[in-house]
Structure 1
């Protein structure tokens, strides 16, 4: 346990009106992950990159575990090519997220794979590596932090938020102290389900600012409860320096708050955001047009739902669960499964409902409901979690679960997960040959040859200009007097006599 008395405390901010509050854009990563099942293509992103640059974001988040995985499995795009292209085209510093020792998938990888991943991302132009561990076991991010710093990147280390009897303010202050000891450049509060409330923020946020010892804090809170904008205000008042947001068409609901909303709140509090509202409107207009063109859903402000604080299942996962239940003619059992998920989470010692443990808990809950008996069948991944295979648990699992899981004492794991993983690069280099690129070695570590085969195709050609139709829509939206106005779009001069 960390001795908190050795951690220097940052002075409390004199007033919320004395500083800045920058925005980190998640439109190209988490927003479409939540609302579009991570299906935004690089081709869709490319035309609006210039306008995104003009907005004045502190960072643009372009990469995460699901984005990387969907690129390979479903879009058949090289995630490395996407990262390289976005970093090259964006003057705004780019940020990428990994899941600690798991990187982009649910599997655990040895330290040499983690280190090579950091080297490749830095070479592609990434400025900040954001990293978190789903159990808040910070032993699982040590190799990421160390290798990112060695590669020349800054590190944004995340504390994943949840509600339980053991996840107290003191618990999070202790985890923050560990991140200070790791010399993180930023510390973030990651609230994947939108469980934070302004009341909790007013106790937790000042405590974290003090524990951070001057390290800038960021807030990443989803909008599933409808309370996120007020939570961001509590973070600003406590001295947080950055907030994660999305443009309006891809904001709110299961996504994150809208950038224009958070910017307006910051300005009312006297905080400088550096945001260019005209450029922000242009980006929002583009994605409005994409929603129309591709029949994609827009984010909507969520209504407050008390049940969220019981089951704690993220909105994107509920959407996927609904779809799967519908194919099995089991849609009517969704409330029963969500109620069972809350019980499973309690029995497992309050794991946080973020990948991969959200998937494990839902799987166990579905099995319990369908089989009509709790823990009649326990997946191997759930047993591994309870054994400590993925890291240190926040609380001991319930006796009723341990009895059904039949976990022997000699199966329990106390060491950090990476301690059990032999180096992988020697085997991969022998398998792929001396000419294999670092990017190819990593992809071979993550995926089978069958999944990688479609990536051998050339990347789609990207246009770095918005469409003629969008240019006209943008013009019409910014000019009230259209009599005899002339606008050039699609290579043609058009007279508007409105």
Structure 2
């Protein structure tokens, strides 16, 4: 697909005479991050890429901070290899997400590391760099936007959504105007916890459409409240161009809404989506089979829970918290911790519960509950947040917190976070030697040699095609004793019973 055809397809919705709405697929990134703890391997992805290409997506999102980090820490896969392989095999243009000045980890990196990262991603074939800052401090994405454009990529800049007295429609309009000034190619509303409601969308979305002019708007809203599909309809009607979705069974719950449902809703409203439903069914069948084969959870449509709008903790984080509390025989204290998390968030000036601040808020809440005293212990990262080390706060922290944190006036940071970071690339090049590639330089900036050592192993030759039937036959051939199995093929559930000697 040429760049011209991509532009025609993605920018057409801003022509009010054309009713089209494109889909961005997040199955290979955010969906398994939410439902499978980011554990989808490259070998699981590659066999179904041909069918994903035939669906008709505008873009396929293949990279994010957690994906990059889990590749290194847990899957022992080289993330650069994955990005290059997927960009090479997918004809649909690929999109990758970074966390602004933090890129893939929770640490802040200097501008020269950010720029080198953009250059490497563009060289691997990435078409769009999606970037956000967890505080909506757009000073933290300037170097990402600039370097991505210099490397030849388009930029999708995100507004991270939350609910609080200070995160008003006017607040988001001002942040959107800053992104317009940065010359973003797309602007997205990122709703990581699924807090958007149709009512809020009816005021916020038209205000953003008016503020951004001809820049196409995208919606990325998780399905944790159960309201996301209705919110997507409101976005379509307001003039949004693209919506982020996942295929069943990796949609819904803590993930994003199902591509099938959003496609159906768009069609009923008279929008063209360019979606090939047969190809979409093939992709869904494949991942349904993977769920069965690997005993992976499927996303379920969430029930509306008013408590979500108080604690605002993403579903994936609640699952991890439950698991950790269970190991400490504290599972019964989860409601108390979630209630405390809501109070901590208020006291800290309403940070958005997205990485890394979601982790900071939960950690502080657990400490408060376990110690029986609020802010008896304050982690260094929480103090640094309150000092402005990570960026500009949406609101001043409460006096009760500031008194316990004992932050001196000379500790407060007013400048952009990257301003106090020295360049790192010259030091790393001298350290690693002339034979080190740009990819090596970046990995060394992010991780210790011990974590990187397993990446030196040779990787398998990834398969490039499959079908649910082929997967079923391969699975059966590997079993010595098969007594009962459930498979899905051609949209039909089947139960197999067999015995082999």
TM, length-normalised to structure 2 = 0.92
Report what 1:274 is aligned to: 274
Give the match for residue 239 of structure 2: 239
Q: 1:222 to 1:280 in 2, by over 3 A?
A: same
1:293 aligns with 2:280: no
1:200-237 CA-to-partner distances (Å, cap 9, x unmatched) read 00000000001011100000000000000000000000
What is residue 117 of structure 1 aligned with on the other side? 117
3-state secondary structure, aligned to 2:341: helix
CA separation of 1:223 and 1:476: change in aligned 2, threshold 3 A: closer
Q: Number of aligned pairs? A: 468
Residue 329 of structure 1 pairs with residue 329 of structure 2: yes
Assess if the C-alpha contact under 8 Å between 2:219 and 2:244 holds in 1.
yes
Residue 250 of structure 1: SS of its match in structure 2? coil
Q: Deviations over 1:6-33 (max 9, x none)?
A: xxxx9x9797x84210000000000000
Structure 2 gap segments, 5+ residues each: 1-10, 474-486, 493-501
What CA deviation, in whole Å up to 9, does each residue of 1:78-131 have, x standing for no partner? Answer: 000000000000000000000000000000000000000000000000000000
Given that 1:13 and 1:238 are in contact with CA atoms closer than 8 Å, whether structure 2 keeps it comes out as no
| Alignment partner, residue 6 of structure 1 | none
Report the 3-state secondary structure (helix = DSSP H, G, I; strand = E; otherwise coil) of the residue aligned with 2:129: strand
In 2, Cα distance between equivalents of 1:142 and 1:38: 28
Which residue is 2:443 aligned to?
Answer: 443
Q: How does 1:281-360 map to 2 (within 5 A)?
A: 281-360=281-360
- 2:47 counterpart residue number: 47
What CA distance in whole angstroms lies between the structure 1 residues aligned with 2:344 and 2:335?
14
- SS across alignment from 1:354: coil
Distance 1:329 1:435 in 2: 51
| Residues 158 and 190 in structure 1, CA contact (< 8 A), matched pair in contact too | yes
Contact 1:21 1:272 in 2 (8 A): yes
- Indicate yes or no: 2:253 matched with 1:257: no
d(CA) in 2 for partners of 1:436 and 1:209? 45
Q: Is 1:69 aligned to residue 66 of structure 2?
A: no
Give a deviation string over 1:247-306, Cα, whole Å, max 9, x none: 010000000000010000001111110000000000000000000000000000000000
Rate the CA distance shift 1:32–1:476 in 2: closer, same or farther, 3 A. Answer: closer
Offset from partner CA, 1:406-425 (integer Å, 9 cap, x none): 00000000000000000001
Distance 2:388 2:125 in 1: 35
Root-mean-square deviation (Å): 1.6
Give the C-alpha shift of residue 476 in structure 1: 5.0
Structure 2: how far apart are the matches of 1:37 and 1:471? 25
SS in 2 for 1:397: coil
| Correspondence 1:227 to 2:227 | yes
CA distance in 1, matches of 2:297, 2:489: 24
Q: Tell me how far apart the structure 2 counterparts of residues 80 and 147 of structure 1 sit (CA, whole Å).
A: 18
Give distance in 2, aligned partners of 1:440 and 1:477: 44
Q: After the TM superposition, which residues 366-381 of structure 1 pair with which residues of structure 2 at under 5 Å, given as runs?
A: 366-381=366-381
Please state if 1:145 is matched with 2:145.
yes
| TM-superposed deviation, 1:396 | 0.1
Match of 1:106 in 2: 106
CA distance in 2, matches of 1:82, 1:90: 12
Mapped to 2, the partners of 1:213 and 1:424 lie a distance apart of: 38
Give the distance between the partners of 1:100 and 1:179, measured in 2 at CA.
13
Compared with structure 1, are the counterparts of its residues 475 and 301 closer, same or farther at alpha carbon in structure 2 (3 Å cutoff)?
A: closer
TM-superposed deviation, 1:332: 0.3
How far apart are the structure 2 equivalents of 1:343 and 1:18? 46
Counterpart residue number, 1:127: 127
Q: CA deviation at 1:459?
A: 1.6
Q: How does 1:392-411 map to 2 (within 5 A)?
A: 392-411=392-411
**8 Å CA contact 1:102, 1:109 repeated in 2:** yes
- Closer/same/farther in 2, CA of residues 476 and 374 from structure 1, 3 Å limit: closer
Structure 1 residue 465 displacement after superposition: 1.8
Question: What secondary structure sits across from 2:302 in the alignment?
Answer: coil
On the 8 A contact 1:18/1:270 being kept in 2, the answer is: no
Q: Distance in 2 between matches of 1:186 and 1:438?
A: 28
